[in-house]
Structure 1
Amino acid sequence: MTDWKTKYKLITFDNDKGVLTVSFSREAKLNAVDARMHTEMSWLWGDVARDEATRAVLLTGAGAAFSAGGDLDWFKTMTPDALDRLFIEARRIIVDMLEVPQPIIAAVNGAATGLGATLALMSDIIYASEKATIADTHVLAGIGAGDGGVVIWPWLCGMARAKEYLMTGQKLNAREAHSIGLVNHVVAHDELLDTATRMARRLADGPQLAIRGTKFSLNKILREAVNLTLDTSLSLEKECFHSADHRECIDAFLEKRKPQFNR
């Protein structure tokens, strides 16, 4: 059994009779992903899958956000070795999440951006607070959508909408996300955790072989999509990290100005 508190520093865990609540816990940074959190995410799903005490997972974020995605301060200082490690971990995060046998219920309590959006949307059932927003903003950082967005968005909202939102980085509020099929349910903010927990409890107390078998069969479709697109999209995303456009996006963000392209 994993010693969650010893191994993890930026993700917290609480197991209540088989329902494991997993919270991204870098609250002061809106749960933005830095090097440490990204590494912990790469461990997360393998550890969950092997945990016999867990029958369902409730995934959420501490504080006001689900996860604001990659921390641009981290990107600014990225070394070549760190970049290589990032993309090894990125693949593991997506592949391992699809292999988790337990059902994963997302409680999207605020902004779910970039990788945060991917993790929310790759959950099995998604509840969004009325205050939640969802956006894959990779392109706004001058990088391709490569950490799973190209896998999951077309399946949830269709290819035409996926192209629009992934190529523009446009943000959707919870109602908009629900209307195009990105999330299952929108609930009042103060009811989010209770509502999502009830679903997690229902699944944790249900027939495990049947539930897990159903999930495994459905996820086979997504595993085929991963095999088709993930390595290509990660490779193209990695190439973008070396581009002038990406450097301009980072500089503009840190200098609080609008980026200028094609100069």
Structure 2
Amino acid sequence: MTTQRPWLNPVTYDRYTFMKVEVTDGIGVVTMNSAETLNSIGPEEHREMEDIWLDLARDESIKVIILTGAGRAFSAGGDVKRMAARAGTEFGLEYALRVPQNTLRLFEHMLLVPQPILAAVNGDAIGLGMTVALFADMSFVADDAKLGDTHVKVGLVAGDGGAVVWPLLVGPQRAKEFLMRGKLLKGAQAAEMGLVNYALPREDLMAETHKIALEIAANPLWAVRWSKAAINKQLKAQLGQILELSIAYEAMTMMTHDYKEAATAFSEKRKPTFKGY
């Protein structure tokens, strides 16, 4: 008698356009696939990122996931041009009201994935793009990549995960320095301060990340998965305690004059004039 194992049924990713999945030898390479926009994340891309982790979690053909970006950037984060277009509009208000639940879904789903996630940050990672990289289980970055969370520069609280993960990795004071200044740093600096695991020459990044992925994949499956699950308890607790508040603050800043001005000024390549409301 043959015992059926429904969890071994193949998972397909045909419905995704922004997220591309390729599986070879148990390694799933997940690529944010919009090089022409520097893999920026608007509402449609965000929805794909929320959903894809659930499919990856049940894909038994994948032992380790590598997350990367197409082209010269990992991800530029939120699409500022689209932000400027919806700022102060009825659609912008509807969007802001949905931001907290959408963001919570993205990171809750990401943390549900049992397979280790290795971020191969092949280029600049800004704002939400950087936060996604830091929520991976390990982050390997190109040494010349520009990294940081610049929410404050467009009038927003770094509420979509940055306020959760930065303090865990570099401590509250360092986190406040970078999140309140919107300061960027190079990949090599990020590795030196412990924000990421390693900084590597750009041309070596994918090969080295793949090498580590294969090493992890060769280890006993449940020893790896449950090690991840145990360590992630703290991150899940922090997510539950902080994200709902921080993302609500971000949603409120989306309704301010200064946010609209910052986003518009960015698109028009001029200096913003802030009014404090």
Q: TM-score, normalized by length of structure 2?
A: 0.92
Question: 1:44-193 counterparts in 2 under 5 A?
Answer: 44-78=52-86, 79=91, 80-193=93-206
How many pairs does the alignment contain? 262
Are the counterparts in 2 of residues 57 and 105 from structure 1 also a CA contact under 8 Å? yes
- Structure with larger Rg: 2
Which amino acid in structure 1 is aligned with residue 257 of structure 2?
Answer: A
Are the counterparts in 2 of residues 111 and 134 from structure 1 also a CA contact under 8 Å? yes
Give the structure 1 partner of residue 227 of structure 2. 214
Structure 2: runs of 5+ lacking an equivalent: 1-9
Are the counterparts in 2 of residues 35 and 74 from structure 1 also a CA contact under 8 Å? no
Deviation at 1:69, TM superposition (A): 0.2
Deviation at 1:47, TM superposition (A): 1.4
Deviation at 1:85, TM superposition (A): 3.5
Which amino acid in structure 1 is aligned with residue 243 of structure 2?
Answer: L
Which amino acid in structure 1 is aligned with residue 248 of structure 2?
Answer: S
Deviation at 1:100, TM superposition (A): 1.1
Give the structure 1 partner of residue 248 of structure 2. 235
SS in 2 for 1:77: helix
CA distance in 1, matches of 2:267, 2:192: 34
Give the structure 2 partner of residue 197 of structure 1. 210
CA distance in 2, matches of 1:133, 1:2: 34
CA distance in 2, matches of 1:43, 1:77: 25
CA distance in 2, matches of 1:258, 1:200: 44
Question: 1:18-37 counterparts in 2 under 5 A?
Answer: 18-37=26-45
Q: TM-score, normalized by length of structure 1?
A: 0.96
RMSD: 1.2
For 1:84-109, what per-residue CA distance to the aligned partner results, in whole angstroms no more than 9, with x for missing partners? Answer: 34432211111111121100111111
Task: State whether structure 2 residue 260 is matched by structure 1 residue 252.
Answer: no
Give the structure 2 partner of residue 39 of structure 1. 47
CA distance in 1, matches of 2:94, 2:273: 28
Structure 1: runs of 5+ lacking an equivalent: none
> In percent, how many aligned pairs have the same letter?
38
Deviation at 1:204, TM superposition (A): 1.6
SS in 1 for 2:75: coil
CA distance in 2, matches of 1:138, 1:2: 35
SS in 2 for 1:237: helix
Which amino acid in structure 2 is aligned with residue 81 of structure 1?
Answer: E
Give the structure 1 partner of residue 11 of structure 2. 2
CA distance in 1, matches of 2:70, 2:245: 33
